[in-house]
Structure 1
Amino acid sequence: MQKTILATDLDGTFLGGSDQQRAALYDWILARRQEIVLIYASGRSLTAMQDVLADLPLQPDHIIADVGTSFYSGPHQLPHAAMEAWLDGCWAADARERIHAVLREHPHLRIQPQVEGRRISCFYDDLALAQAARDAIAPLGFDVLLSDDMYLDVLPQGVQKGPTLLRTLQALSLSPERALVAGDTLNDLSLFQTGLAGVAVANREPRLSQAIAGLAHVHQSELEGAGGVLEALQRFH
């Protein structure tokens, strides 16, 4: 039997919902652990994820971190050679210098400390100003992602959670037909744009709801966080 692949965002999704919903999801997966490939796809860095991993009863098989700009594999969370080569090839040596030159013209953005991966991330308060910064950076050849009404991420062009997941499935010879993705904010939109089966949990960002409208392969759950993930996973598996 082919394994089911669950690629899920953490904050608000796999970690969201009530205590009871999380326990039900985690217990369900633990009872079928050998049948499921578990991939955490997070905006967090691997370092920022460690406290979460320490508290979770489920350790992932693979981790997509830093909004898709980092990848780690196996129980020791080691880099994967093919994935590293692809990600490095997408992030030019002068990328940070070029991005920071533009960011200096947008002092309202607050650069996030301790960011890892091939990206630069900022906090914003004013959406219109953040959109202006995005429009100034994008012509340099980067993807600029605004999410959760507070995060601005500058990423290698074509590199987000979704494209990195597709590359992961290819590198690990995993079947896309057996993959289910889950998320709640706009930094998960690229997961849903892969065409893979998906679930957007009830506590999703309103702009995510708008962005996935009409995507028949994405279930818009009425259950929050882990509850929505379990609902979709039970149907899919």
Structure 2
Amino acid sequence: MDDELGGKTFVLATDLDGTFLGGSAEDRRTLYDWIEENRDSIGLIFVTGRDPGFIADLCKDGVPWPDYVVGDVGTTIARMRDGMQSPMPELEAEIAAAWDDAGERVRDALRDAPGLTLQSTDFRYRVSYDLDAATFERDAIDRIDALGLDHLISDNRYFDVLPPGISKGPSLKRLVAHLGVPPDRVLAAGDTLNDLSMIECGLPAVVVGGAEQALVDRVAPLRHVHIAEARGAGGIMEAIRVLDLHPALWSDTP
């Protein structure tokens, strides 16, 4: 067990774009200040497709630093120390084994796939593309299936190729278990289909206002999920109140 979140009574595990970084400037400032003022009882995990450089720049510009990062759509699990991500080999071993150095095989298989443009970021256990919905063909999915890998389409604009069985949800649950945090004290927050596995994995969860409708439709029947009216940061605060996850929010915010 890792004890760096030991004693925390609440952990926010949140997507970034449209979720933690979404909503009004006032709501973002209220949420960020509330987290910083209650760091003794609140843990913060970013669950994102963003790269380490983006996160570092973001936090230097006034966003709270996370304690941990589940990055690259679940293919990275890392501590955040001194402004740097430190991957956790004990949690990433299963991810690396499932990927089996598949990057070049994926790029070869999709080299001429219509509607897909390879992204320049060099992920360790993932290959990502921009997707043009007008020209995309299902044959690309068949090619990935033939390699024994998983695919993820989000916001009808992005196509990720991932190790089988690896995504945001399973990686977040692995980290939560490793940290020894009670699952019922963790709030998972997201807004697009690439957050689906995190929202439906059984942890208390919120889909923030303005989310991708396909995500809302998929998770609406789930009793552990709050569908928020407020957008972004406001939706996160709404869920903390509704799900009774941290009483300090009542006294510290209007």
TM-score category by the smaller chain? over 0.9
Contact in 1 for aligned 2:206/2:235 (Cα 8 Å): yes
- Correspondence list, 1:108-127, <5 A: 108-126=115-133
Return the alpha-carbon distance in structure 2 between the equivalents of residues 26 and 133 of structure 1: 40
Please say if 1:228 is aligned against 2:235. Answer: yes
TM-score (norm 2): 0.87
Equivalence for 1:41: 47
DSSP 3-state at the match of 1:222: strand
Q: Which residue of 1 aligns with 2:105?
A: 98
Q: Hey, what's the Cα distance between the residues in 2 that align with 1:128 and 1:214?
A: 33
Question: Retained in 2: the 8 A contact 1:163–1:194?
Answer: yes
Work out the CA distance in 1 between the residues paired with 2:245 and 2:203.
12
Measure how far apart 1:220 and its partner are.
0.5
SS in 1 for 2:87: coil
Letter in 2 for 1:69: T
- Opposite residue 231 of structure 1, the aligned amino acid is E
Q: 1:57 to 1:125 in 2, by over 3 A?
A: closer
Look up the equivalent residue of 2:217 and give its one-letter code.
Q
Aligned residue in 2 for 1:139: 146
Identity %: 43
Alpha-carbon distance in structure 1 between the residues aligned to 2:135 and 2:225: 29
CA 1:47–1:236: 2 relative to 1, 3 Å:
same
Which protein has the bigger helix share?
1
Instruction: Quickly say closer, same or farther: Cα 1:74–1:96, change in 2 above 3 A.
Output: closer
Structure 1 unmatched runs, 5+: none
The CA distance in 2 between the partners of 1:2 and 1:50, in whole Å, is 23
Partner of 2:75: 69
Q: TM-score, normalised by structure 1?
A: 0.93
- Alignment match, 1:174: 181
In structure 1, the residue matched to 2:212 is: 205
How far the C-alpha of 1:186 sits from its partner, in A, is 0.5
Counterpart check, 1:188 vs 2:192: no
Please give the alpha-carbon distance, in whole angstroms, between the structure 1 residues aligned to 2:179 and 2:37: 24
Could you list the structure 1 runs, at least 4 aligned residues long, displaced by more than 4 angstroms after superposition: none
Letter paired with 2:148: G
Q: 1:104 aligns to what SS in structure 2?
A: coil
Pair 1:189–1:105, CA change in 2 (3 A): same
